[in-house]
Amino acid sequence: MSSTIASAVRPQPWFCWKPDLDTYMAILTGFVWIGAYYLLTHFDDPPISTIYGFFAMLLVVLFPVWWFCMHRNRPLRELGITGRRWKESLLISLIVGIPFFWLILSQYGSLGAGVLVPQVIANALILWEPFFVFCWLELRFGDAFGIIPGVLLAGLFFGAYHIGTYPPVSVGVLALYGVLFAAIFRLTDNLLSMWPIAWAASSAKGTLAGGMLFAWGDIPPIALVLVVQLAFIALTWRRLGGNWAAPLKKPG
């Protein structure tokens, strides 16, 4: 069997050792986010906590995009933001999402549409989590250590930043889900395989199980964060000449 698999980003070996500056930045931001997420879920002193949450969720997307595309002169496609294989990715997302939607209805249907609908919508608007875990951490770890270590490390970090927010057993379950989703993501290396459909369903199920409920009033600020993130990605795409696979052309 070949030591590489076809990748929408580029072929990567199953195992390797090629850490670089992007690897170290991914590790650093991963550990920083463990502490930042704990504060995000435990600090509740409006308006300071609201402002902190807004910028924390904003920067967890903006900084990797800036670092990778603007600072390191790498293409958006290597961040999983690409039009390549988008149909397959959406189909995967739908297949992943359907069982979670069924679980939501079967286990929490008694809560009613007034609770479940904003729960799903709010989680559908959360771009930062699948982007940070799979597009940023997993693909950088895959570049540095190979596909299998990248999948395992992404799942590990996904579980790790939930420590203190969920019981230890639930953290372990989340880590396993992270590994499973990371493996699925590698089928196309396209963000659409995880977001928004699969993430709306799976994250809504997870937050319901953890008692983290979203109300209609929580949706506008989450939507605002998403709009700014998408605008920054679009601006980056334009600076790259409207080409997902092109690096930034520096003057001179």
**Closest residue by Cα to residue 245 from 65, 10, 53:** 10
Alpha helices in 109-167 (DSSP H): 113-124, 128-130, 139-145, 147-160
Cα separation, 84 vs 76, whole angstroms: 12
pLDDT tens column, 91-112: 999 999 999 999 999 999 999 9
pLDDT tens column, 208-240: 998 899 999 999 999 999 999 999 999 999 998
**Closest residue by Cα to residue 8 from 92, 86, 84:** 84
C-alpha to C-alpha distances, 14 to 6, 7, 10, 101, 185, nearest whole angstrom: 11, 12, 13, 33, 15
Amino acid identity, position 8: A
SS3 75: coil
pLDDT tens column, 189-216: 999 999 999 999 999 999 999 889 999 9
Backbone phi and psi for residue 8, each to the nearest 5 degrees, phi listed first: -70, -20
Which helix (H) or strand (E) segment is 4 a member of? strand 4-5
**Closest residue by Cα to residue 228 from 62, 67, 79:** 62
Q: Is 8 a residue whose pLDDT tops 60?
A: no
pLDDT band at 12 (very low <50, low <70, confident <90, very high): confident
- For the entire predicted model, the pTM comes to 0.93
Q: What is the pLDDT of residue 244?
A: 85
pLDDT band at 242 (very low <50, low <70, confident <90, very high): confident
**Closest residue by Cα to residue 227 from 40, 78, 62:** 62
Cα end-to-end span (Å), the chain: 45
Q: What is the pLDDT of residue 10?
A: 59
Q: What is the pLDDT of residue 2?
A: 37
Which residues 6+ apart lie within 8 Å of 132 measured at CB? 29, 33, 60, 61, 64
Q: Are 218 and 118 in contact (CB under 8 A)?
A: yes
Cα separation, 41 vs 223, whole angstroms: 18
Query: 166 has which bridge partners?
Result: 163
Which helix (H) or strand (E) segment is 231 a member of? helix 219-239
